[in-house]
Structure 1
Amino acid sequence: MANIDVEYCYSFPALRGIQAGKPFYVAMCPMRVIPKIFSFDENDVPPELRAQRTLNKARIPEMARYLIDNPDDYIFSALTASIAVDVRFDEFMDSNNLGTLRVPMEAQILINDGQHRRKAIEDALEQKPELGQDNIPVLFFVDEGLQRSQQMFADLNKYAIRPSPSLSSLYDHRDISSNLARYLAMSVEPFVGLTEMEKSSISKLSNKLFTLSSIKQATRALLGKDPKENDFEEMTQLASLYWQTIFDVMPDWQLAAKKQVSPAQLRQDYVHAHGIGLHALGLLGRSLMTEYPNNWRQKITNLKTFDWRKSNLDLSKRAMQHGKLSKSGTAIQLTCNALKIALLLPLSSEELELEAQMAAQ
């Protein structure tokens, strides 16, 4: 047991465990102490002398806002930290590794995983100090030097995989746009039964035609904004009406819904069977509803004869690069331009500029 002056240390209720023959500790820390005791190697230190990546400050405001807006319904996963000095663990009698972890106040405690959560907590506490009464679990390892801390960071992040945008949208019930996309996918033609709900790419032989994430992006383009709680019903009705109207002028989608043609075959031959086509249709809808609020549905009728084939040289020049469909904003807008031209709709000055740039290539 380390000889530590208990009057000058941080004390945390903790559980001791063993990994790879070494002790580690899981402690419950009040949120208010997190900014005070956990330091982070900022980017004035060269990467080879740091134990973790540079803080991406652009991520912090959204994370802090999540805490502030959901004080009764948030969840933050555990932080992982290294302690650069010996610690003391006072085990409770007959408790089987439950006790008090005592860390000297002068100890340097570095976060190996969770530095963005630490900064978000700090910023959130400035606006909502009462969050400081909450706890966050912290996994403490006794540091064995820089090399060990760097290896810990690498090991902790080696197998971390972000969920796909579709899966995030499927499970995110706080995000209004995700709620709308889920509703459309489960309730509105052409999406019912043809939507890949988990993955954000569709395998070659899949019987799905759309991804949930592409529906979300295309509907956001259609509405020109993220829906809010106070206009969710109105936006839902508008989006449902638009996509149903589009379905009515897309014979290939109708055949897929009736299982008279395979989605795999459509993906092989047609641009409308990919996210770029759906996104371009969303942009088209935004223009139509803005310029022709009373008769946009009649304007769409002529889409029934639009040539969506990849072999259409004009369309492929807009939507494809090096023989593959592009996901760039320029490709999406140029595809939308082709739809507007087919419907005899005027192009904006920005859209005309894109046309000129394409013609010059």
Structure 2
Amino acid sequence: MTLNFSYSFPALRGIQANKEFYTVICPLRLIPKIFLFDEEEIPPEHRAQRLMNKSRIPEIANYILENPKEYVFSSLTASVDGELNFQSISEENSDIGNLTISLDSKFLINDGQHRRAAIEEALKISPDLGNESISVVFFHDRGLKRSQQIFSDLNRHAVNTTSSIGILYDHRDQFALLTKDIISSIPLLERYTDKEKVSLSKNSPKLFALNHIFNTNCRLIGKKKGELLSEQERSFILEFWTVLVESIPEWKLVLNKEISPRELRQNCIAAHGVFLEAVGIVGHYLYVNMPTTWRDFIKKFHKIDWNRDNKIDWLGRAYGPTGRINKTNETIHLTSNLIKCKLGLDLTESEREIEIRFLEGQKIEV
């Protein structure tokens, strides 16, 4: 069959579940023109995919634009509602050939709608990207139920990587690079940081999770992942960790193998992410307000009772009534509030508001 008005792609043919599918290489400039996605506010049961999270698009588009020689995209997967015709180049190479798709076909992206939208935005800023390409896997559309099933199957076994793994494998972000440098340069962190998990089991031989150290670094100077670091900020963060490690006796006990990481996590809040990120908030306050004397305040940490049995200080802040450590933005701030008070530092207006709400809640419970 000859399709007079059609798209034509060099393609590879494959078989899955006794059904043909095709992998093609598509120029980026064609992506916004031929691939559509279902954005209508209609009930989920009548859509073939989830609604797009538009807040993700600028981040992905910037990733392309900021890394024009390094960006990597996996294949798009799409269903085609229309006529497809595959012509092999020869009998010997029957699965290599040319795929033609009728021009009036409808394309529905089953996997990759955010990449597709980001490509469109990137092309507006850098049209030259249109000459580059992306692989696309085509399935023949057999109706809404089949398209929904494809979406479900593609996502059924998808497992997101942990944020710690993302940081470990990131060789571009300055915060990620600095965090890994700090860990490798400080023996306690090098030995007792889990570089894969985001939370530690009670029997873990580690003290810290990589993502907690990363988040603490972000809080220390009030910046986010992807932002640039000045040399002054880099130097401060590195020195901060050096001073902090020397100022917490409980950490030294673990380093000297006098107690195990498990024992420390059971008995001390200083072995948990809520503590680290709270310290990041305190450190940021010192960085901004006490640029020459901040070390003196951190050295006072050895005088603070970090024991979980110290319920007067930490119950309701670092952990709840059951004794379970609870790391939320609120508990991080409540923990940092108390640390600041113990160091003789003033609370900011927003911190005072958090403290007032907490104290009022304590009165109600009593």
Give the TM-score taking structure 1 as reference length: 0.95
Q: State the one-letter code of the partner of 2:354.
A: L
**DSSP 3-state at the match of 1:282:** helix
1:13 corresponds to 2:7: no
Deviations 1:10-67 (A, max 9, x none): 0001000100111100000001001111111113332111111101101000001111
Aligned equivalents of 2:111, 2:164: Cα separation in 1: 25
Q: State the one-letter code of the partner of 1:28.
A: I
Q: How much has 1:235 moved relative to structure 2?
A: 2.6
1:187 corresponds to 2:179: no
Aligned equivalents of 1:259, 1:96: Cα separation in 2: 65
Aligned equivalents of 2:9, 2:198: Cα separation in 1: 42
- 1:59 alignment partner in structure 2: 56
Contact 2:82–2:104 at 8 Å: present in 1 too?
no
Q: How much has 1:237 moved relative to structure 2?
A: 1.9
Contact 2:221–2:287 at 8 Å: present in 1 too?
no
Q: State the one-letter code of the partner of 1:344.
A: G
**DSSP 3-state at the match of 1:321:** coil
1:319 corresponds to 2:318: yes
- 2:243 alignment partner in structure 1: 245
Q: How much has 1:107 moved relative to structure 2?
A: 0.2
1:134 corresponds to 2:132: yes
- 1:349 alignment partner in structure 2: 349
More deviation, 161-170/337-346: 337-346
1:204 corresponds to 2:173: no
Q: How much has 1:337 moved relative to structure 2?
A: 1.1
More deviation, 123-132/253-262: 253-262
- 1:68 alignment partner in structure 2: 65
- 1:170 alignment partner in structure 2: 168
1:271 corresponds to 2:269: yes
- 2:359 alignment partner in structure 1: 359
Aligned equivalents of 1:112, 1:207: Cα separation in 2: 42
1:147 corresponds to 2:163: no
Give structure 1 stretches of 5+ with no counterpart.
none
The counterpart of 1:85, out of the listed 82, 86, 101, is: 82
Deviations 1:298-333 (A, max 9, x none): 122221021112221221221223422222111111
- 2:19 alignment partner in structure 1: 22
Contact 1:206–1:263 at 8 Å: present in 2 too?
yes
- 2:232 alignment partner in structure 1: 234
C-alpha spacing 1:248/1:228, structure 2 compared with 1 (3 Å): same
**DSSP 3-state at the match of 2:63:** helix
C-alpha spacing 1:214/1:312, structure 2 compared with 1 (3 Å): same
Aligned equivalents of 2:289, 2:66: Cα separation in 1: 37
Aligned equivalents of 2:128, 2:74: Cα separation in 1: 19
Identity %: 42
Aligned equivalents of 1:147, 1:59: Cα separation in 2: 27
1:280 corresponds to 2:278: yes
C-alpha spacing 1:312/1:30, structure 2 compared with 1 (3 Å): same
**DSSP 3-state at the match of 1:319:** coil
Contact 1:43–1:55 at 8 Å: present in 2 too?
no
Q: How much has 1:229 moved relative to structure 2?
A: 8.4
Q: How much has 1:265 moved relative to structure 2?
A: 0.9
Aligned equivalents of 1:228, 1:238: Cα separation in 2: 18
More deviation, 147-156/312-321: 312-321
Q: How much has 1:227 moved relative to structure 2?
A: 8.1
C-alpha spacing 1:4/1:56, structure 2 compared with 1 (3 Å): farther
- 1:306 alignment partner in structure 2: 304
C-alpha spacing 1:47/1:169, structure 2 compared with 1 (3 Å): same
Contact 1:68–1:124 at 8 Å: present in 2 too?
yes
Aligned equivalents of 2:70, 2:123: Cα separation in 1: 16
Contact 2:7–2:100 at 8 Å: present in 1 too?
yes
Contact 1:80–1:138 at 8 Å: present in 2 too?
yes
Aligned equivalents of 2:75, 2:228: Cα separation in 1: 34
Contact 1:63–1:117 at 8 Å: present in 2 too?
yes
The counterpart of 1:109, out of the listed 107, 110, 114, is: 107
